[in-house]
A and B are shown apart, each in its own frame.
Chain A
Amino acid sequence: MGWTRKDLLAMRDLDASEILLLVDTAATLQEIAGREIKKVPALRGKTIVNLFYENSTRTRTSFEIAGKWLSADVVNFSAGGSSASKGESFIDTAKNIAAMSPDVVVVRHSSAGAAELLARNLSCSIVNAGDGAHEHPTQALLDLLTIREHKGHFEGLSVAIVGDIAHSRVARSNIHGMRKLGMTVTVAGPPTVIPPFVQEMGVKVAYRLEDAIRDVDVIMMLRLQHERMTNGLIPSLREYSRYWGLTLDKLQAQARPDVLIMHPGPVNRGIELSPEVADGPYSVILDQVTKGVAVRMAVLFLLAGSKGAEQA
């Protein structure tokens, strides 16, 4: 069973065998990070454009390192200081970049569906690196790889995702991926940020942190975005932190001793995670970042490393 898609847009599109192929490929590629010479020639002569309309350090750097370790040429385009600030439309900018014959365009945009729009209009491969509140598939894949490396399997694991579910593309991508791999997902957060559709996605809902984190294998804390307070969804940082912040006390009182604490970053220390938890023995947050490079190498390799099955 090989990879046949031109693009990677959403976890929702993938079936379990495709997700496992990506995770397995990433798992074998991790070895490259430990080498003295961190470079393999697989994507020599391929060009990858990082087209980022939203700020991102971790994801863009991760894609850039992944491309370079595979010997591709990686070009970064960010909206600030570019033709976008002169008023060029998104699709025009993308078509201009496509006219320079890249093999892969990695796109991040604040609008849901931006990656799919490019996939329909450009002949090169498109990777969605986050589109609005829709999806962020490489984040979900690196979370899945991290979980499997620590727990050994997927089937039957239970996960709590805590925070602003409604606005989280990380939560959405993870829920799709985890459900397809036979994991149980509970989402938790203030009722104002728990969207009504989550139950249709086959997840449970908890309205108290203590209920969500009891007896789960993995706790995934989401970043609280400060702009959520200005639009009235959350009364105050202090209140959010008191009810939804994960502290060592709450963790030790409720969670299993072998629980994994994950966070997609960047962490608001002292708000959703206390520093002792973020840096503590349960935390695999930096491991997630390390695995991110392997996952992005796998994605780039499977999309650009062969012309795809239609020519095989």
Chain B
Amino acid sequence: MTGAPRLREKAQVLDEAALDRALTRIAHEILERNGGAKDLALVGLRTRGVTLAHRLAAKLAAIDGATVPVGTLDITLYRDDLDMRGAPVIRGTDIPFSIKNKTVVLVDDVLYTGRTIRAALDALIDLGRPAMIQLAILVDRGHRELPIRPDYIGKNLPTSRRESVAVRLREHDGEDRVVIEEPEEA
């Protein structure tokens, strides 16, 4: 097995405080855009989108006193690149509330080609008919291959395709940080 090339850290994009401020701002923007938290729901994309969705829900509760339901979306069954990948592991969708007539905010850590969000839109609409779907992203790194644009952005980050963006969250990685990585041999 050759595996992926080793990556080294090139630059830090967000530290713990900046990441927290970005989420606080997004929470305020969500409330402003929708005139409050009524009929709002957050749906995170596995894995780190779910963690970010829970953090946004906590922020919305702190700002507005609102309890916004949080769901988990696994888009494995909706991918357009199943043939190009190894045997996929499905970890399951868990949205224990009706999304019908709700305003659903999809939450993910990094927006890149847009193909994951395309799959997520299909997966979500198969579960019911939301009144509106919005998209919240922590880092938009560009290079879109589909006409998809986020409604809420933590950080715009122009990158080259050979770089990758790593969002590290306390719950998974023991720290809150966003870094750009690049291949060691370049």
Contacts and interface: CB of A to CB of B under 8 A. Distances in A.
Contacts of B39: none
Contacts of B88: 2, 301, 305-306
A90 to B, nearest CB: 30
B91 A307 contact: no
A100 interface: no
Interface stretch (B11-19, B122-130, B148-156, B171-179): B122-130
B131 interface: no
B78 A41 contact: yes
Contacts of B122: 41
B87 A40 contact: no
A308 interface: yes
A242 B121 CA distance: 59
B134 to A, nearest CB: 22
Given A28-B92, A309-B86, A42 B126 contact: no
B90 interface: yes
Contacts of A35: 126-127
Contacts of B78: 40-42
Decide if the interface of chain B is mainly helix, strand, loop or mixed: loop
A4 interface: yes
A36 interface: yes
A42 B76 CA distance: 8
Nearest to A38: B126
A28 to B, nearest CB: 3
A5 B34 CA distance: 49
Contact of B90 (A4, A25, A308): A25
A28 B87 contact: no
A40 B82 contact: no
B89 interface: yes
B78 to A, nearest CB: 6
Contact of B126 (A3, A39, A307): A39
B92 A31 contact: yes
Interface string A12-47: 000000000100010111010001110111100000
A312 interface: yes
Contacts of A25: 89-90
A28 B82 contact: no
Interface string B150-171: 0000000000000000000000
A40 B86 contact: no
Nearest to A28: B92
Interface string A272-312: 00000000000000000000000000000110011111011
B74 interface: yes
A27 B91 CA distance: 9
Contacts of B146: none
Contacts of B89: 2, 21, 25
B77 A307 contact: no
B119 to A, nearest CB: 9
B6 interface: no
Given A40-B77, A41-B77, A42-B82, A308 B126 contact: no
A125 to B, nearest CB: 12
A21 B89 CA distance: 8
9 contacts: A25-B90, A35-B126, A39-B126, A40-B78, A40-B123, A301-B77, A306-B87, A311-B86, A312-B85
Given A25-B89, A31-B94, A306-B85, 4 more contacts: A21-B89, A28-B74, A31-B93, A35-B126
